[in-house]
Amino acid sequence: MWLFRRKGPSGFSSSSTAEEVTQGIDASGLTAIVTGASSGIGTETTRVLALRGAHVIMGVRNMAAGKDVKEAIVKEIPTAKIDAIELDLSSLSSVRKFASEFNSSGRPLNILINNAGIMATPFMLSKDNIELQFATNHVGHFLLTNLLLDTMKKTARKSSKEGRIVNVSSEAHRYPYREGIRFDKINDPSGYSSFAAYGQSKLANILHANELAKRLKEDGADITANSLHPGAIVTNLFRHNSTINGLVNLLGRAVLKSVQQGAATTCYVALHPQVKGVTGEYFSDSNLAKPRPQGQDVDLAKKLWDFSMDLVK
């Protein structure tokens, strides 16, 4: 990312790392959940939040991988407070089990980072018969957020600290299906495009955060909801496309962000004082950015909310 180092209004740029954007921030006393924490930017987000003093609960599909990540972080940061709970975002029953386990633990919840994601998979249905990318990237996080909201509201009230919900989206939201969200064809294999379906799920992440921000404001809850683009990063997200995966491995270091840079915007939106009170916005390179017009469509956001509520009933 040596090509794009210009700093934005926040004082940070695309080459800023998660440690740099949280320098001097004390997150002790805060509890955070990070989904998809056992690899890529989820791991780095967990590490940096723990480094700043937050108690991090990792939502992980693979508990063995989660255990390895936890051990590696604690070895580096002996004071790190980290726990792992099993979570498969593509399964609504797994999401319900995770939320129930967390809520009944009596722990507070200040920060929810909806980070987990899959990218450009061949057409598949989830256990709940929902197209897999839409199920994992959007529907699972939609349900998880709803199930944890009461705990977040209670925590914000008791602690007098603003709660923050962070949806990790992508610039891929600019390239969904023509209609944005294919409400009537979500599970239709005909006309399925692995990349357009990914774009659709990432557009849904933005619309979800926007509608949630609106509802939390109307509720008078001291909780913000924002979405972000982490940047094009060298991670295993590209594993389903061998050509792209090869190119990423070949050109990655010169053009793409490192994982440390990739986790920066997430950590910035989750912890930085500059973001206090900011809600319903989209960030990129640790600065405010503008999503495509569909990502600002309030009617589309409301329609997606109602549609998602029906799916998780």
Active centre residues (catalytic): 192
Rounded Cα distance between 161 and 218, Å, is 18
Assign 255 to helix, strand or coil. helix
Residues constituting the chain: 313
Contact yes or no for 279/226 (Cβ under 8 A): yes
Rounded Cα distance between 126 and 71, Å, is 31
Contact yes or no for 118/134 (Cβ under 8 A): no
Going through 210-286 in order, the beta strands assigned E by DSSP cover 223-229, 282-284
Contact yes or no for 180/200 (Cβ under 8 A): yes
Strand pairing partners for 57? Answer: 33, 83
Contact yes or no for 236/145 (Cβ under 8 A): no
Q: State the helix-helix crossing angle for 194-219 and 140-159, rounded to 10 degrees.
A: 30
Buried b (16+ CB within 10 A) or exposed e, 128-138: eebbbbbbbbb
